[in-house]
Every structure is written in C-alpha cells, then in structure tokens.
Amino acid sequence: MLDIIFSVAMFLFSGYCFYTVGANSPAATVTELGAAFWPQIILGLMMVLLAINVRNNLIALKTADSDAKTVNFKAFFTSKLFVGMVIVAVMAIILPYIGFLPTCFLFLIAYGVLLGETKYVRLAIISLVLTIFLYLLFQGVLDIMLARGTGVFRTFARACEGMIPF
C-alpha cells in the first residue's frame, strides 16, 4: 500500500517537474532539440513506469491477504528502497561541494554495499572504472560540464579535465 502512495506522489511530482522544465527552459530553435528535451523525455518515461507500477501494485493488492493491505511505516523506513533514496539525496546535496568524481565514486560504493556486495576491493575497482567511464562519456564525448566542487576538489577536477584527450 505504501508503495502505491509513494508512486502516486512521485508521479505527481514528476508531472510538476515536467511542466516546470518545459516552462522555464529557453525555446528550441528549428535545428536543435533544446534544453528541456532530455529532462522531459526522462521524466515522461519515469511517469509511464510509475503508472505501470501503480497498476501492478493495485492488481497485486486485490489478490493479497489482509496483512499486505496495511501500511507498515517501520518496514518502509528500514527498507533498502528508503536507504537508497537517502543515499541519492545525500549525493545531490554534496555534489556541488565535492564535485562529480568523488561523489559518483562514493555513491557507487554506498549503493553497492546497500545491494549486498561483500567484496569491497572489487566494489571499489568497479566503482572507480564506472566513475571514470561516466566522466569521460559526459565531460569528454558529450561535452557536458559536470560539477567540479570547491577548493581542493575543484583543483582536482580541473586537473582531470586537462587529462581528457578530446
């Protein structure tokens, strides 16, 4: 039941964001997609998936026993779903301060631990490789400016930008 409530709330918030992104972005020209195109595509897909999730949960709720129909807040706040949301929120808060590279690396490690990975050296190596790949993809290939951070983190990010060959 709590999943349905959360999905409906996320659907409504995504609709608000979809509207806000479209209303506040500069208008696209004939030859380009515009700044709002990709965020609206992602938000639209998320809204479709949330609607499917609500439908599937309503179907499951009809066939479930009475215990599944009650809202268990303690179970929600101790679930991996909630902890994952907290990790994403912390990532969003610290991103402007420490930049993309350290934030992404720490996020991937934290989420890997949350999902049950116990081989920490392997997790650190995979997180580092994925962080470098994402950095090269966005900063290098797609030429999208990523958060640099402040202080020593900014200096580190600028040094990394100097190493990109393209």
User: How many angstroms from the chain centroid is the CA of residue 98?
Assistant: 17
Q: Could you tell me which residues come within 8 angstroms of residue 19 by beta carbon, excluding any fewer than 6 positions away?
A: none
pLDDT score, position 1:
65
Q: Which two tokens stand for residue 93?
A: 């808060």
Domain boundaries, the chain: 1-69, 79-166
pTM of the model: 0.61
Phi, psi of 115 (to 5 degrees): -80, -5
Residue with tokens 């290939």: 141
Where do the H-state alpha helices sit in the chain? Answer: 2-24, 37-63, 73-77, 80-98, 100-114, 120-135, 152-163
Intra-chain end-to-end CA distance of the chain, in Å: 50
More confident call, 15 vs 78: 15
With cut-offs at 50, 70 and 90, classify the pLDDT of residue 149.
Answer: confident
The string of pLDDT tens digits covering residues 16-43 is 888 887 777 666 666 666 666 777 788 8
Digit-coded pLDDT (tens) for 49-103: 888 888 888 888 777 665 555 666 777 777 787 888 888 888 888 888 888 888 9
Question: Which residue from 78, 53, 76 is spatially nearest to 2, judged by alpha carbons?
Answer: 76
